[in-house]
Structure 1
Amino acid sequence: MYNVLESRLINSLLDQDSSATLLAKELNLSMKDFTTAVEQINLKYHLPLIYRQQDKVAINQEILEKHSRIIKILSQLDNRIFDRSIRKKIILLILLMKKEYLPVEVFIAANQVSKNTVIADIRELKEECSAKSINISYNRRTGYFISGDELHLRSLLVSSLMDVLELNNSVLILYRTGLFDFTSVQFLRTKLEILEGKMNISFADDLIRKLPYTLFSIIKRIKQFQVDLKEFHDLKGTKEFITVKDLFWEFDFLKERDLLYLTFLVMSSNVIVATQYDSELECLLNRCTDQFIQAIEKNLVIQFRDDTKIKEDLIAHLRPAIFRVKLGLHVINAIADVFIEEYWYFYEAVVNHIHFLSPIFDQLPLSKDEIVLIAMIVMGNVTPTSNAKTPFTGAVICKNGRAISHLLADVMSDWFPNIHMSHIMSKRQFEYVKPEVDFIFTTIPIQSAIPTFMIQPFLSEDEKKQLIQDVLDTIQKDPNLKAKEVIFSITSLIPEESKNDILEALEGFFGQLAVPKQEKNSILHSVSQISIREEMEWQQVIYSSYEEVYSRGSITENYIMKCQQSFYESYTTQIISNEVLLPHSLPENGVLEPDVQIILLRKPLIAPNQQSYRMIIALAPGYENEHVPWLVELNKKLRVDTKREQIFNARTSEELFEKIK
């Protein structure tokens, strides 16, 4: 299906995201040819499988996980060989989700390594599991089997799966195992989204992706191994249990004990927005948290800037942590070691006083990653906050839970004292709320016309300096932001009723100083926006028409996908005149700059309804209707028969440009 170049490009992206500049160099391509190769891959699927944001290029995980046909094709190109620790996790997944004894060939196929390597991995795994009272037995005739305490086996299944899901394009690894039905996984995600509304919570982006796989694997194991678990009856009768029970009604093999376990599993997940659970633990949780806060303040000789907020933040984290610890699950905190190195002072204080929280965990020990998350919350609430007004607002978007998100917002506030971080959100919250801010700082790709900066939870000193410079450059180049900054600096000297007029005048002034832009009433300003082609296939209309618009940086891949969806459903209404198609979508779906591409076809395009079309106007409309005056004038020309024929009979792009500009 792919040529050699496309296969190499995909292979380069399977293991890790990359820089478009570096990857193009590695493949000996110009940036133009690299962009063409990416577009060709996306055209084959009619989906933006590979996305670019700034210089970053990666496989679109959301697209990949929602389309099993793409998973199947890409898995054939996935020849990654993992280190021993990951190979052992994959072996565990297979053992824990299969009831029968398994031959060594099953593990060879999943890990793509030799028989000797697999046997060595299993030998090491047996020793590790033996220390946890879990047994991996072997029979020459039938193969390998795992056994032990069911609660420990389920915890091992969840932790192994979570580790695999941390890997880049992990869904392809899961496909190798043959264990997962990806349609069912997406079905479980839909159920979790319903549960969010019923329980008034919001899972972190990272968890809403991983939890459906976890539920699928546990439900599959429960169906095969009916074991009585007696540890979870303290949730019986709660709102949470009733909600989970109602959602999973069609799994008729799930007994009450199994539904109680699933309730614990759901409640162990990190959330961005939390609600108080109907649990007797609440009183104990409040008391222990108060004692912990007082001890930390005394030890560090500090006063938290907001006693209510630190308590709310801690309890929001501790509620799911209680269930994680009881299930024997360990949260993954990828930046734990970096945090300890950078902020040992806070980490050590939390370690020395964590015993105040022990009663809520039944005296069970907490993992290092869990303790670091608590330390992050402590540190994030120590940093002094200024009540001073700022000229700009910003949103911080993070896929992880509250601890990392709020710490990141505090760090951004320190680096940018002139930007008020007014929103701390998950990606899903951002797409729903669409906050009006001046800047976006995000750890995951976001499609927006607002100036957006990709960041990591921890940046090196050089990366920090570069980010600050990039933000300053953006302010200097944007007339609206520059005007806002000036108005803010002299706000005390300006009467309130005059501010809007002065702001408008300044925006115009700085706009004149900036690089001249095309007048708003004309989005057609260059011959490069004209294409004359011999013919076009109906299935390729959107991707072919928007190629140039995308390459100019005027739209995002999401905009193309939205056009694709709407056009084939309602192409009969997306016309501007007889024989002229006008595909388009809403600006908020990914228009970064108003733009248009006109494609004149020598051979008419035949639609499914047998209507023929001789021209396509691939429109990227402006947020302020900048495109409307030009479209009105074009429509006038196309309604006159003689002018329309002159347009359709243009021989060159230059001739066509002169007739419709």
Structure 2
Amino acid sequence: MDLDNRSVQILQTIASTVKVSSKEIMEKYDLTRNQLDYTLKKVNDYLQENNYRKIIRSRNGSFVVDTKVVDSFSGIGNNESQLKADEYSFLDEDYRLLVILLLIFSENYLSLYHFSENLEVSKNTIVSDIKKLKGKLKKHKLTIDYSRKGGYYFRGDEETIRGLILVVIDQVMESIYNHLIFEKYLAIQPEEIEVQRELLRLIETELQVQYTDNRIQTAPYFLVLLNRRVKNNNCIEKRFGLLAKEIMDTNEYGAIVKVLAGQKMLPKSYTEHLYLCLYILSLKITDLSNIFSLNKEALRVHIEMFITMLEKNTIIQLNDKEQLVENLTLHLIPAYYRIRYGLTSDYTLTDIIKNQLDPLFFIVKSSIAPLEVFFEERIPNDEIYLITMFIGAYMQKEKPINLDNTIVKAAVVCPNGIISSKLLENTLDNWFPMIHFVSSYSIRDFYEKEDMLDAQLIFSTNPLTTDLPVIVVGNDLSAMNKTLIVNEVIQLIYKIDSYKLQPDHVLSIIKKYLPMNTEIEGKIRKELMISYNSIFQIQDQEILTNETKLNLSDLITKDSIIILENNLSWSEVLQIATQNLIDREIVDHRYLKHLEEQFPEVTPNILLGNQIVIPHTIPENGARELGMCLAKVTQGFISQGQTYHYVVVISATDKKMHIQPMMQLLKIASDPEVIQRLDSAKDKESLLAIIQEFKRM
């Protein structure tokens, strides 16, 4: 027996879809319960006749399908499916519409007569079909137009058109008409498909990846139709900008170009060959409908959520947040594609730099969840380190550049892409306030613009052939390399040998004649460093290099711990804990007043891990020194229906010194086992012992 179209479609849907229900089948095909029962009976009769097990409907309305039925009748990319339409089959309306879309996509000239003859329906039917298609295309901001010279054609963004066709090809591949549509109506020869399939196999070998069977089945058809579209001069106009630089720096891009060039299949157009490479890279992604488009507004919203969480975890109120959001958006757009495509780049950081970044890195990673929601992927640590460097450089840059105080202009040359260039520029800019950095360039851009460059000094990660003085900085901006770079800068700008003026050199002379203990030596070295940096206008990079050795245990000492046994309110706990800071002259009385005004109740922005309340305010509201007070409320206190046991009132005088202590406090708040140990601690000594375990973590 043979199955009618409806029965074929329902068999394919049940075999291809996991946990599809009777209700979903009835809604999709507009069937009554009786019609579905009748169709299932016909399907099961057909299966039994061909030695397959019947489809069983369970009590909850889902279907139990034998694996052999799935293997044989699943429409998704299944070349061996036993359900195939022969060349005399007639397309129903839904698939006729898909054919019209694919024909417009791939053919050079199409008239009403062409459609009518090929699809064997009247011209009126085609007119009606195209009208329906126009309605469906509105949501994609596309339409179908007609001209005597060009016939029927798409009007709209070429990138969007191609995204739509990717979806259409997937839909065709799921039907019994797939071979009929591709071979009869679109005249795609099996030999053409095999050429593209072989290309993908070569790329798999080169990249050492394995695409899914679904992708291997559908991608060759899109590549064939794409070639036709390009030959018909329907080319993409988009300039990929920053994304192009980021993608071109990856190993995967180079491997794909190598294979395409070797097969003489690399498009001549730069944008087309970049698009083709991006498409091939995207084959690892499940949803291809919008692989080349990014909702920047949604990204900005998630960046704002990330910054809000970061401010809470660092107890820092960042300045000029609008500019920070814009800059982070530019930074994260290429990162989005790297993360989605699983690309490997050359933005590798040494262990030295990672160790220096660790305190801020931990806080950034603890705040990264909103961005991971947007990316729909876990963000790799290397990408978080890059974000950390970006945030750290921004946190340092608290004041605008004063061009009156700059001595020379400089440029940064870095071949590793826009992100590395900007990070290097930001770091150097923060080290050297007497230098105005005009821009950053790739090596090729530098040589093209060298004659017009308004700069007297070049910082480069690679040696350059130029008449301008070049300081080669490499990729390792550790404290040791910073000293060498600073020496070179001072020699070039001030024309003196700064080695003999360096604090360590001066200190070595002093120690020859004056014995001193380690504490005194450290204090003298610090004073010499301040003087040296002041003379030559050198900035310390504390936020990135963590040169300051403060730990949580340096701020929470026996004197700054309070254990409260009584039944107290939130306002009483806040007063008692802040009074501890007032008594120790870390804050003045204004600090308590501002805390009481800002936090009449406990709010989410002063909660760490939903366990520790961290009230704080800006330094201008009465902060004198960096300090903390830990109050443990044994019986707990209630605020807005929630019970809390720990309050740490924090006084911060800048955006740098407290980063590591906050990282350690965040680790404590995020660890339920540590909180349980704090709960069990009966005295200050026990609490302090737990806190000291997090020293230098």
TM-score bin, normalised by smaller chain = 0.3 to 0.5
Larger Rg computed on CA atoms: 2
TM-score (structure 1 length as normaliser): 0.34
TM-score (structure 2 length as normaliser): 0.33
